[in-house]
Amino acid sequence: MKQDIRKLTPAQLKDWLVQHGEQGFRAKQIHEWLWKKSALSFDQMTNLSLPMRELLNNHFEIRPLNVATQQRSSDGTIKSSFRLFDGNLVEGVLIPALRNDDPDRMTACVSSQVGCSLTCKFCATGYMDRKRNLDAAEIYDQVVAIDRQAKENYGTSLSNIVYMGMGEPLLNYKNVMESVKLITSPEGLGMSPKRITVSTAGIAKMIKQLGDDQVKFNLALSLHAANDQKRDQIMPINESNTLEALGDALNYFYKKTGTRVTFEYILFYNFNDTLQDAKELWAFTKRVPAKVNIIEYNPIAEANFKNTDPQTLDKFAGFLESKGVTVNVRRSRGKDIDAACGQLAGKQ
């Protein structure tokens, strides 16, 4: 099997070229074609000689990501099923701004794994097996493809990227970090890391690693309950990553990076939507500077959870706001095409 050329660093590619009698500076040209220009074949690299393109073709391959299916929601959201080189499928979503929102906001939601191993009870991906991690190029390619959709459908480029699709990003740490590096590099897409948010179900050890690496992107924690008993019921990862451990890790992350954390909180009817739950969430926000995104629940066939009622949501959010907590209520997008948060499942 030919080697995936995008797994080589620029230095490794340069060494390979020199070993095969080519000039080392060609590595920079090839790197630009692969990332900045997103070339899908060596034949597109027109500033390389034909013999050199043949040499690359004989030893390497570019493993493209292809759009298998595409659906458009009534609210303008576009969900894509991406087929990987080995036949596996992942999903990504383009989320345009609502009219009353920031009109320039255009968000890509990308996946980091094929399936997921965390079995969160309210998430469709959690009912799938984790088949494998995505490599950095496969994550990068989702962004490129969704950016192309933004330009074709809305005449504008992406403004934001969220790692909130299929999989747990911090269990694919190396490839996620490499993809962020490529997305933010001037030699890649050149996006600001402050426009990127990585969402985790809560892997305390890796949250501390983010702090040690002094990342510049934003971090969101899928919290959904601020006491261990309730969180254990819906998120089994909490049994080995308790709220105490997560609070310590998030505080460590904040001290290392200075970046305020976002807590994502789905209000489930008659489960985590009481005033007592709000008090527990308020107490947890004291552990680390944070804001709270209250997220609308999106039903899935595998679970029996229901969205809380509007009055309860207003009381819950109102209590937090009365205590000085920054609260945003996020309305779901793309529910009619199973593109909303928690609904991605790689369906064909």
The answer to whether 120 is a known ligand-binding residue is yes
Q: How far apart are CA 233 and CA 238, in angstroms?
A: 9
The answer to whether 20 is a known ligand-binding residue is no
Those residues whose C-beta lies under 8 Å from the C-beta of residue 54, and which sit 6 or more positions away, are none
Return the bridge partners of 67, or none.
Answer: 82
Tokens representing 149? 């959709």
Q: How far apart are CA 326 and CA 339, in angstroms?
A: 27
Burial category of 217 from C-beta neighbours within 10 Å (exposed 0-12, middle 13-18, buried 19 and up): buried
Inter-axis angle of helices 204-212 and 243-257, to 10 degrees?
10
The answer to whether 223 is a known ligand-binding residue is yes
The answer to whether 322 is a known ligand-binding residue is no
Whether 265 contacts 281, CB under 8 Å: yes
The answer to whether 109 is a known ligand-binding residue is no
Which spans in 44-93 are helix H?
A: 50-59
The answer to whether 188 is a known ligand-binding residue is no
Tokens representing 184? 């933010």
Q: Give the amino acid at 92.
A: G
Number of H helices, E strands in the chain: 10, 14
Q: Which residue has the tokens 């008993």?
A: 229
The answer to whether 318 is a known ligand-binding residue is no
User: Terminal CA-to-CA distance of the chain, rounded, Å?
Assistant: 28
The residues annotated as belonging to the active site are 91, 341
The answer to whether 179 is a known ligand-binding residue is no
Write out the binding residues for S-adenosyl-L-methionine: 167-168, 199, 222-224, 298
Annotated binding residues, written as ranges, equal: 116, 120, 123, 167-168, 199, 222-224, 298
Q: Which residues are annotated as a binding site for [4Fe-4S] cluster?
A: 116, 120, 123
